């Protein structure tokens, strides 16, 4: 998961970071502080540009898939929840507010229409990011190709 964040453009990472709820951004102060060799309390006073560079550096050095997964989950199930729930509904995957329980997979016959609708409603960058994660969840499922760069650069 960390590669999704380190391979995307700095502008795209900034867009995702800014869209996160305040509590999630504050939780990222720990990894940012680690990268800056600082304390989390002092990170809060730093400019956003420095925080973003330090966050990217953290993922490059630590390769922390847990923190990266939490960040991506918070983004997709927070400000981009409509994308996730709409895709799951359109492909017949039972879920609870975007959270999937069980082994259900998207119906391959419904994928083209679901992806077209998702792209029209949410744009390529967010859809491609979600598809990259979906491919990891359902690796045997064909039809989950991103339109361009999987990181949505």
**Spans of all domains in the chain:** 2-64, 81-137
Sign of CA dihedral 24, 4, 95, 75: positive
Q: What are the E-state strand segments in 29-146?
A: none
Q: Which residues face 117 on adjacent strands?
A: none
130-149 residue pLDDT tens: 999 999 999 999 888 765 44
**Burial call 120-140: b when 16+ CB within 10 Å, e when fewer:** eebeebbbbbbbbbbbeebee
pLDDT at 102: 87
Q: Which residues face 99 on adjacent strands?
A: 96
Q: How confident is the model at residue 58 (pLDDT cuts 50, 70, 90)?
A: very high
pLDDT at 143: 85
pLDDT at 4: 96
């Amino acid at each position: 998961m960390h590669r999704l964040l380190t391979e995307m453009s700095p502008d795209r990472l900034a867009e995702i970071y800014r869209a996160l709820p305040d509590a999630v951004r504050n939780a990222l102060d720990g990894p940012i502080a680690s990268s800056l060799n600082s304390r989390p309390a002092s990170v809060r006073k730093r400019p956003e540009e420095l925080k973003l560079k330090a966050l990217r550096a953290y993922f490059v050095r630590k390769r922390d898939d847990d923190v990266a997964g939490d960040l991506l989950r918070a983004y997709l199930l927070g400000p981009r929840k409509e994308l996730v729930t709409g895709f799951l509904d359109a492909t017949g995957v039972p879920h609870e507010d975007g959270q999937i329980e069980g082994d259900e997979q998207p119906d391959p016959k419904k994928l083209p229409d679901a992806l077209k609708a998702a792209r029209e409603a949410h744009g390529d960058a967010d859809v491609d990011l979600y598809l990259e994660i979906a491919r990891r969840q359902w690796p045997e499922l064909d039809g989950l190709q991103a339109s361009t760069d999987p990181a949505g650069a």
